[in-house]
Chains A and B, each alone.
Chain A
């Protein structure tokens, strides 16, 4: 591993929860490296440990064992330094339903230490970026699912983070909204931001990601570029394969068993 270029690095990352039925091993030793400037896809069935891993990397969950670094900073040792260089859009578009889009973005600017005028200007810039100028002064409760996702994305970009974590950013969106989010992700990445993207949509990973890792049952079971992963399986099987086949091969699932866990949905 080249330590100098890693935007995100995890070594032996483990998360255990204590539940009523005993200890739940949500993540069982994840090793991964995300290079600066790439879009890294993190795939896995429901309950595989994707969101738990993201929450550990973004300081939202404590780490049971192992270690993680974001832009060279240890997540557990200096969480505030990590928080300053990451943007986070989690699975559910977490928005304050009683604030307008503009108020929410301005608030985030203020919380990141911007002055009043600077926060207002940044909010306006982001509203234009995600095409929400007309809805800017309406409370977010009335936003459609697509608008909420775009605003959530904008909120994650307020402080121009070096690494953007997107946890299933297109789940539940219609095809048009999904395409809009894809365009935004490409545009953000084009400006130099590293993107860590979890998704259930294999088509999305194939379209967007430079490299990806597949997690199953709390462990990484495949890692590489979409092309290299397909080429490796294709060579083994002696036939053309898709990323869906790679996923099924990696997780030991059949198409029937995978239905509802990972979806082959195109935009």
Chain B
């Protein structure tokens, strides 16, 4: 078994032994889904709101819930704890590929992401949300959410490796967090005020959100879906290159 897979399995076991962290990863995004939908559903009734494509406002909010859940990964915090505790050096003293030390955690994040995204989407179905793009769309929805979780966790790991401090890693996460909200998360992009529309257009997370939303609200619309996958592909490639470079030069 490769070192990456072996370390990935260890990270999964680690996550399962911290169920409170998994609970918060689920609870906060679902809390936002309920609150945001509750606050705005009356303003945007499905019968007279074209951009809802006949669904309730909860369906429009589901993408931000998925993105939030995917962005609450604990990989970086577990990594920095390992650095501070000295176990990371123990791993570095072994004849394993340097990249496996960061990739193992990302493999575990991918598995967690698949499970959490599936649970969130399945939990939303009884509340009238349907995946208009069908079973293929469902798979793409889960896959895209998961890939975003891996990319986000990878960038957080970079902060952990650079700062080697739990406090700095936590604070560093706040730099990325606004990107999730500089998006058309309450209304479509063309309904945003001009400065916000410009900011959202420049924000790559917007294309991810629009891809997820199109999978929920409409049939397969590749014009919306492909930019979402392109964003995770480009950011993922950058994240992987930086992680591998960082771990190889780690001193």
Contact = CB atoms under 8 A, between A and B. Distances in A.
Interface of A: 55, 58-62, 80-81, 83-84, 86, 88, 90-99, 103, 107-108, 110-112, 139, 152, 155
Nearest to B93: A88
A62 B251 contact: yes
Given A99-B10, A107-B6, A94 B87 contact: yes
26 contacts: A58-B93, A59-B92, A60-B92, A81-B95, A83-B93, A83-B95, A84-B95, A88-B89, A92-B85, A94-B85, A94-B87, A94-B89, A95-B90, A96-B10, A96-B82, A97-B81, A98-B13, A103-B13, A110-B6, A111-B3, A111-B6, A111-B7, A111-B91, A111-B94, A112-B95, A155-B90
A115 to B, nearest CB: 9
B14 A96 contact: yes
B21 to A, nearest CB: 11
A91 B89 CA distance: 11
Contacts of A112: 94-95
Contacts of A155: 90
Contact of B87 (A59, A83, A91, A96): A96
B17 interface: yes
Interface of B: 1, 3, 6-7, 10, 13-14, 17-18, 81-82, 85-96, 251
A97 B95 contact: no
A223 B251 CA distance: 29
Given A62-B251, A94-B85, A95-B85, A88 B90 contact: yes
A81 B90 CA distance: 16
Contacts of A108: 94
The 10 closest A-B pairs by CB, nearest first: A94-B86, A83-B95, A92-B86, A88-B93, A94-B87, A80-B95, A94-B90, A98-B14, A84-B95, A98-B17
Contacts of A61: 251
Contacts of B87: 94-96
Contacts of B86: 90-94
A108 to B, nearest CB: 7
A80 B82 CA distance: 21
Contacts of B251: 61-62
A79 B238 CA distance: 27
B73 to A, nearest CB: 16
Given A98-B18, A103-B13, 10 more contacts: A60-B92, A83-B93, A93-B86, A94-B88, A95-B87, A97-B85, A98-B13, A99-B10, A99-B13, A111-B96
A88 B3 CA distance: 19
A86 B93 contact: yes
A155 B85 CA distance: 15
